[in-house]
């Protein structure tokens, strides 16, 4: 099929994973990814697939001419083709991971309105679709790579328990690189690590949970933003041209979500789909995050996923109510599918943009909610009901916003010192931003700790496009502060009483500055070095530390650490992370 | 009237077993001496030691010499090699060995009246009478099967690592992953001979498979001694704790349950799928036909494009790193099956927690009787440091309880360990953990088997005849 767009290339992928079928066939989807001149791999300017298998020592060859139209397009259109053959072709797997990783990158770049770096000093993320035999997948900062495992479905000699394919026998292997959810999840780790490297630092239960939870919710929402998927979600509710409005409830959709989840990975990967399942099943309650079982980072993250998923389903139901034919109380199936995908995309973009409106260090779920509300308010000022719904649903799951009114407060423009600051340079020069920060360090302005080491880590102009075509120009800059003190030098309001007086602690703070297109400071989202939050952080880390482990509180924010980790570091986020905490909390 | 069984003194012998545990506790009374051997295993002996079979035989002969027909019992806290290898009866003895009996045979000849192990070792474990554990679908029996899988997978992972090492020919790989993988892989290998000997000794005498709160059988064996089992909890007990705890940093059995599904997959993949064999073949330059895509075109391994070659190396390294994580996780599962024993001998309180980590402690420290346990743990006089001094085996919440630590150092701590075997300092996972050792040294009277220089053992005595117990210092045992 010719691919007419000069900007995009359409590629065929597995919609969720090979166990999710519709009408007895593996559900495929077609996605758009940015067009580029590909080398065999496919290898593009941001993502390159190298098909090394550490278990067999083999390296599978890619297709020799990757730049042509989608070679697998026919499989989606021609229903007579046996899709089992497609799934047994490693070059299709190579295309699948390339397409999902690039689509996830494009989602981030579109939402943020700028290029997004990886969390390592290189431009190309290497993706190994069949890296090892294991029910696991991970992002490795150190290896600058995403690695996906595969495994045999059933032990030899035992009847396979998997779902039969079109030909009756289940495929022998399970490939994680064919799971949209897994690929999007790992790519998101790589992207968040590029945007907010400090989120891997030890800080709080929320921050320990955030990386995983955010990767989960991006994976889920990007999956739900595929019309093929929202279509499948509506199947159990009705397959006619029109759907009865009374049948489309939040509960009915939630049941569909669970049906749509593949069983293939659930058991083997110990929890990928369980995340979704458990998130759907979490009963909303205001005290969730204080309960014992939600102190463990993975479980805690599920609460954030639950709140977002719930908001998505309710938004969808609300939109259907708005577009329904009021006389017949029905809604066109086609519109319902489109609206579901649009609702997911709206929420997805908002969640990604929220990263730009969040503090660079010591993130809490409440910070994330305020960032989400604020960024949405800037982008869609008229849609107050959507934000009210978000606020209400997060609240139901015990996540109040960090900002008193929900959204971040605007800074006092009159108090800011702008003498000698040049807006043109402020958009791209960290020196200029630093001058602005330094001039405004006073308590009535940015309120920084003067004695700390302060560094502007990046500044980027952005051109954000809303889903309805509105263009927003902003400049985002980030600064971080650090200060090392003995516990007895800490102000009283920051020192947890249990810390030994001579214990050396490393404190971090920092902020995000958002300037509008005229160079005015629109928002300043920050965490002060001396704050109640800092006290909570120190108390948490000390509680978590081993006996006599005086280094635990020095393991936080460090520029040299970050540099070292980026060059030769050990950061790795895995898919299953079965018996361990996320890196953020691990010592 | 029979002589009083009231304890008049005790002796604790700490044997040099390198990275391992071997303790002989002797309780004296007017009626005579009774001996309790707590663990007997090693994975790595210090440099200059004789071969393992011979060294362990020497330890066993010393135990035999001390017991001399007196009542004798055995505790095996968990099935890791570094706690049970000495019980094996199939060790290959050199011709020059002073005795033809292996260490395990010598111990068996002492005819232990009691063999105490955790419930997870019970060969006749009945299916959980009231069904699987709450919400997790994992019964005690299934969990026991899981432990077998864990050991098997560890062995397979170790073998795969050896293959990676051969393919990479990299000293850095060995230093970072290979060494520890080899250590953990071996430590987790099933010790069939040792396990069978423990069962046989238990059958001949009395076998007790204990869990939190159950009877250890030790009180009958050591009259006048109060013995309490503080761990491991059963599946049901730990599920109950999980619901109650105010702050639980890590779920114990919940994680194990998740591991269960994961593991069964792992074992199938690595064993019956015969990947290890595949790897070996390809490492020797052969084409693997049983990979997932037997007919797909592949690059000639001798002529890989440079970019591919570069990344292939990274992929192999990453695999090693991943195997290490897997094996560490499995190691922890087995550590957490350790028996935790609190023995009160007269006025003295001795704590032997095996290699238990925080999750195993959960029921004792946060369960329904936590207050009572905490009060008793506060009085501990001697703490056998958990897991050879690792970061995770002395939970802060436990250490905080010990009232006798501090400036006067009336708390005694003892660790059996060997540096440079387990974990690494850069990741702050080295065993023994430097910061923990510093805390033990500054707040307790500390003993480590690393202070033994060529000696077979050291011993500590306590005299209980006076108004207050009097401790000796750690005295030299017979020359090694």
Q: Which residues numbered 514-543 in A keep a CB inside 8 Å of some CB on B?
A: 543
Per-residue confidence (pLDDT) for residue B380, from 0 to 100? 98
Instruction: With beta carbons under 8 A apart, name residues in chain B contacting A61.
Output: 296-299
Q: Tell me which chain B residues have a C-beta less than 8 angstroms from the C-beta of A151.
A: 265, 268-269, 273
Question: Which of the pair, B73 or B409, is modelled with greater confidence?
Answer: B73
Tokens 């190579």 correspond to: A94
**CA separation for the pair A53, A66 (Å, rounded):** 21
Task: Compute the distance between CA of residue B2 and CA of residue B30 in angstroms, rounded to an integer.
Answer: 9
For residue B13, give the nearest of B85, B63, B60, B72 by alpha carbon: B63
CA distance B432 to B420: 9
pLDDT of residue A151: 75
Question: Cβ–Cβ of A59/B296 closer than 8 Å?
Answer: no
Residue for token digits 């959204």?
Answer: A407
- B-chain CB neighbours of A545 within 8 Å are 396
The whole-angstrom separation of Cα B9 and Cα B28 is 5
Contacts of B299 in chain A (CB under 8 A): 58-61
Place of tokens 């199938």: B268
Q: Kindly list the residues from chain B whose CB atom is less than 8 angstroms away from the CB atom of residue A292.
A: 242-248
Domain ranges of chain A: 8-195, 225-396, 413-586
> Contact A151/B438, CB-based, under 8 Å?
no
> Are B265 and A548 a contacting pair at CB < 8 A?
no
Task: Find which of B184, B244, B293 to mutate to test the A interface (most A CBs within 10 Å of its CB).
Answer: B293
Interface test with A, best of B291, B383, B430, B438 (most A CBs within 10 A): B291
Cβ atoms < 10 Å from Cβ of B467: 6
Asked whether residue B174 carries a pLDDT value surpassing 50, the answer given is yes
What is residue B394's DSSP assignment?
A: S
Q: State which H helix or E strand residue B58 sits in.
A: helix B52-67
| Selected residue with higher pLDDT from B139 and B156 | B156
Of A152, A271, A587, the CB nearest to B258: A271
Of the candidates A498, A542, A551, A547, which has an alpha carbon nearest to the alpha carbon of residue B385? A547
Cβ atoms of residues A193 and A215 within 8 Å: no
pLDDT, position B290: 54
ipTM, two decimals, is 0.79
Neighbours of B98 (CB within 10 A): 10
Chain B hits for A91, Cβ within 8 Å: 296
Using CA atoms, how far apart are residues B370 and A364, in angstroms rounded to an integer? 32
Q: How far does CA A355 lie from the centroid of its chain?
A: 9
Say whether residue A290 is in contact with chain B using an 8 A CB cutoff: no
Nearest to A118 by CA among A585, A474, A566: A566
Of B209, B216, B250, whose CA–CA distance to B362 is shortest? B250
Instruction: Please enumerate in sequence order all residues whose Cβ is within 8 A of that of A392, keeping only pairs 6 or more positions apart, or say none.
Output: none
How far B329 CA sits from the closest chain A CA (Å)?
A: 6
Tell me the DSSP string of B213-246.
Answer: TS--SHHHHSTTEEEEEEEPPPHHHHHHHHHH-S
Question: Does residue A508 contact residue A361 with C-beta atoms inside 8 Å?
Answer: yes
Assess whether pLDDT exceeds 50 at residue B376.
Answer: yes
Contact B329/A at CB under 8 A: yes
Higher pLDDT, B139 or B318: B318
Chain B residue whose CA is closest to A173: B292
Give the distance from residue A549's alpha carbon to the nearest chain B alpha carbon, in angstroms. 5
Predicted pLDDT at B282: 41
| pLDDT of B255 | 41
Q: Is residue B265 within 8 angstroms of chain A, CB to CB?
A: yes
CA dihedral of B106, B109, B114, B120, whole degrees rounded to 10: 50
Q: Torsion-angle region of residue A113: left (phi > 0), alpha (psi -120 to 50) or beta?
A: left
Q: Chain A contact for B392, CB < 8 A?
A: yes
Residue B463 has pLDDT above 70, yes or no: yes
Task: Calculate the average pLDDT of chain B.
Answer: 83
If contacts are CB pairs under 8 Å, which of residues 394-413 in chain B contact chain A?
A: 394-396, 399
B272 touches chain A (CB under 8 A): yes
Of the pLDDT bands very low, low, confident and very high (cuts 50, 70, 90), residue B217 is very high
Task: Tell me if chain A has a CB within 8 Å of the CB of B278.
Answer: yes
- Would an 8 Å CB–CB cutoff place B332 in contact with chain A? yes
| Residue in the block written with tokens 């998130």 | A279
Contact criterion met (CB < 8 Å) for A60 and B297: yes
Task: Please report the number of interchain residue pairs, chain A to chain B, with beta-carbon separation below 8 angstroms.
Answer: 206
Residues 347-386, chain A, touching B (beta carbon < 8 A): none
Question: What does the pLDDT profile of chain A (587 residues) look like in tens digits?
Answer: 555 678 899 999 998 888 777 778 888 999 999 999 999 999 999 999 999 988 778 899 999 988 889 999 999 888 888 888 999 999 999 999 999 999 999 999 999 999 999 988 899 999 999 998 777 788 888 889 999 988 765 443 333 333 333 344 445 678 889 988 889 989 999 999 999 988 988 888 899 889 889 998 998 898 888 888 888 778 888 778 888 888 888 888 888 776 655 444 444 443 445 566 777 788 999 999 998 778 877 788 889 999 999 999 999 999 998 988 989 999 998 898 899 999 999 999 999 999 999 999 999 999 999 999 999 999 999 999 999 999 999 999 999 999 998 999 999 999 999 888 888 899 999 999 999 999 999 999 999 999 999 999 999 999 988 767 788 899 999 999 999 999 999 999 999 988 888 888 889 999 999 999 888 999 999 999 999 899 998 888 887 777 777 766 666 554 544 433 333 333 445 443 332 222 322 22
Least confident segment among B38-42, B51-55, B182-186: B182-186
Four-residue CA torsion sign, B395, B397, B403, B405? positive
- Interchain contact, A128 vs B311, CB within 8 Å: yes
Backbone angles phi, psi at B383, to 5 degrees: -115, 115
Q: Which CA distances in Å does A26 have to A87, A165, A341?
A: 9, 8, 20
Q: Which runs of consecutive H residues, i.e. helices, occur in B336-414?
A: 358-366, 370-378, 396-399
Q: A50–B307: do the CB atoms touch at under 8 Å?
A: yes
CB atoms within 10 A of CB B247: 12
Cα of B287 to nearest chain A Cα, Å: 8
pLDDT digits (tens, 9 = 90+) for B322-375: 788 778 877 887 888 899 999 999 999 999 999 998 878 888 888 889 999 999
Burial A177-211 (b: 16+ CB within 10 A, else e): bbbbbbbbbbbbbbbbbbbbbbbbbbbbbbbbbbb
**Residue closest to A236 by CA, chosen among A254, A221, A263:** A254
Pull the structure tokens for residue B119.
């419930």
3-state class (DSSP) for residue A125: strand
Which of the four CATH numbers 3.50.30.10, 3.30.470.20, 3.40.1160.10, 3.10.170.10 does domain A8-195 have?
3.10.170.10
Pairing type for strands A504-515 and A521-527 reads antiparallel
Q: What would the two tokens of residue B305 be?
A: 């494009």
């Amino acid at each position: 099929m010719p691919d007419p767009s000069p900007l995009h290339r359409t590629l065929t992928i597995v919609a969720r994973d090979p166990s999710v079928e519709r009408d007895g066939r593996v559900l495929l989807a077609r996605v758009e990814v940015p067009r580029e001149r590909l080398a065999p791999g496919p290898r593009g300017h941001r993502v390159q697939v190298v098909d090394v298998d550490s278990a067999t020592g083999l390296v599978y060859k890619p297709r020799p001419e990757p730049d042509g139209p989608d070679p697998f397009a026919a499989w989606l259109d021609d229903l007579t083709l046996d899709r089992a053959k497609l799934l047994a072709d490693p070059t299709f797997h190579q295309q699948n991971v390339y397409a999902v990783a690039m689509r996830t990158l494009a989602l981030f770049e579109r939402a943020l309105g700028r290029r997004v770096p990886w969390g390592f000093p290189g431009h190309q993320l290497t993706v190994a679709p069949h890296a090892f035999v294991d029910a696991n997948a991970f992002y490795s900062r150190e290896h600058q790579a995403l690695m996906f495992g595969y495994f045999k479905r059933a032990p030899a000699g035992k009847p396979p328990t998997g779902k039969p394919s079109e030909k009756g026998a289940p495929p022998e292997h399970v490939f994680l690189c064919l799971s949209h959810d897994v690929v999007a999840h790992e790519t998101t780790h790589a992207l968040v690590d590029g945007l907010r490297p400090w989120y891997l630092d030890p800080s709080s239960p929320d921050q320990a949970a955030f990386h995983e939870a955010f990767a989960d919710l991006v994976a889920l929402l990007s999956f739900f933003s595929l019309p093929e998927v929202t279509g499948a979600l509506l199947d159990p509710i009705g397959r006619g041209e029109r759907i009865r409005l009374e049948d489309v409830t939040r509960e009915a959709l939630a049941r569909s979500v669970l049906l749509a989840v593949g069983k293939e990975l659930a058991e083997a990967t110990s929890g990928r789909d369980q995340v979704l399942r458990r998130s759907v099943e979490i009963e909303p309650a205001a005290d969730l995050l204080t309960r014992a079982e939600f102190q463990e980072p993975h479980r805690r993250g599920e609460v954030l996923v639950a709140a977002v998923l719930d908001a998505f389903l309710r938004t969808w139901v609300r939109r259907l109510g708005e577009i329904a034919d009021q006389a017949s109380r029905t809604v066109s199936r086609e519109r319902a599918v489109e609206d579901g995908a649009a609702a997911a995309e709206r929420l997805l973009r908002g969640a990604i943009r929220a990263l730009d409106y969040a503090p660079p260090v010591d993130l809490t779920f409440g910070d994330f909610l305020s960032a989400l509300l604020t960024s949405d308010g800037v982008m869609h000022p008229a849609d107050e009901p959507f934000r009210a719904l978000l606020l209400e649903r997060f609240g139901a799951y015990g996540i109040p916003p960090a900002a008193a009114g929900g959204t971040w407060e605007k800074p006092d423009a009159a108090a800011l010192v702008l003498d000698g600051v040049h807006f043109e340079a402020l958009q791209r020069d960290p020196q200029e931003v630093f001058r602005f920060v330094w001039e405004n360090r006073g308590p009535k302005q940015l309120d920084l700790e003067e004695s700390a080491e302060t560094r502007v880590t990046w500044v980027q102009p952005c051109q954000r496009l809303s889903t309805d075509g509105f263009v927003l120009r902003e400049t985002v800059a980030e600064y971080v502060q650090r200060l090392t003190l003995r516990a007895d030098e800490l102000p009283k309001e920051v020192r947890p009483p249990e810390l030994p007086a001579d214990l050396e602690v490393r404190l971090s703070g920092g902020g995000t500055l958002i300037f509008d297109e005229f160079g005015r400071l629109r928002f300043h989202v920050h965490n002060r070095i001396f704050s109640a939050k800092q006290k909570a952080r120190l108390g948490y880390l000390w509680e978590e530390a081993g006996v006599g482990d005086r280094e635990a509180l020095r393991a936080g924010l460090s520029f040299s650490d970050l540099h070292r980790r980026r060059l030769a570091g050990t950061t790795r986020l895995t898919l299953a992370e079965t018996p361990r905490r996320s890196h953020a909390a691990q010592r | 009237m029979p002589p009083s069984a009231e304890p008049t003194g005790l002796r604790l012998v700490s044997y040099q077993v390198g990275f391992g545990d071997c303790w002989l506790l002797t309780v004296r009374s007017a009626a005579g001496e009774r001996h309790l051997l707590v663990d007997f295993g090693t994975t790595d002996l210090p440099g200059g030691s004789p071969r393992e079979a011979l060294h362990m035989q020497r330890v066993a002969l010393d135990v035999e010499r001390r017991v001399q027909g007196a009542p004798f019992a055995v505790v095996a806290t968990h099935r890791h090699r570094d706690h049970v290898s000495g019980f094996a009866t199939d060790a290959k003895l050199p011709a020059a060995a002073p005795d033809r009996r292996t260490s395990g045979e010598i111990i068996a000849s002492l005819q232990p009246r009691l063999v105490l192990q955790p419930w997870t070792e019970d060969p006749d474990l009945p299916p959980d009478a009231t069904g699987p554990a709450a919400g997790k679908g994992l019964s005690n029996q299934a969990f026991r099967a899981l432990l077998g899988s864990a050991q098997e997978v560890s062995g397979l992972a170790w073998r795969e690592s050896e293959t990676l090492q051969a393919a990479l020919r990299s000293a850095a790989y060995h230093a970072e992953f290979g060494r520890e993988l080899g250590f953990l892989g071996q430590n987790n290998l099933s010790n069939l001979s040792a396990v069978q000997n423990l069962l046989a000794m238990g059958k001949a005498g009395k076998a007790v498979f204990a869990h939190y709160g159950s009877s250890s059988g030790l009180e009958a064996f050591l009259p006048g001694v109060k013995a309490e089992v503080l761990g491991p909890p059963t599946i049901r007990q730990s599920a109950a704790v999980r619901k109650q705890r105010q702050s639980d940093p890590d779920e114990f059995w919940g994680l194990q349950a998740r591991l269960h599904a994961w593991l069964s997959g792992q074992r199938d993949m690595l064993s019956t799928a015969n990947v290890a064999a595949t790897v070996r073949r390809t490492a020797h330059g052969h084409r693997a036909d049983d990979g997932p895509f037997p007919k797909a075109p592949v690059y000639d391994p001798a002529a890989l494009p440079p970019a591919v070659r570069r990344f292939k190396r990274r992929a192999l390294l990453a695999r090693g790193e991943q195997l290490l994580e897997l094996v560490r996780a499995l190691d922890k599962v087995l550590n957490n099956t350790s028996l935790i024993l609190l023995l009160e001998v007269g006025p003295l309180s001795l704590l032997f927690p095996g290699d238990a980590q925080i999750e195993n402690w959960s029921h004792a420290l946060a369960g329904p009787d936590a207050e009572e346990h905490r009060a008793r743990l506060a009085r501990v006089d001697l703490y056998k440091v958990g897991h050879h001094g690792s970061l995770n085996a002395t939970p802060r919440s436990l250490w905080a309880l010990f009232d006798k630590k501090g400036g006067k150092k009336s708390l005694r701590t003892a660790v059996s360990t060997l540096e440079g075997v387990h974990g690494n300092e850069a990741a702050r996972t080295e065993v023994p953990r430097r910061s923990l050792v510093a805390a033990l040294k500054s707040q307790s009277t500390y003993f480590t088997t690393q202070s033994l220089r060529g000696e077979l053992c050291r011993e500590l005595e306590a005299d209980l005849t006076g108004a207050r117990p009097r401790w000796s210092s750690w005295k030299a045992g017979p020359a090694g």
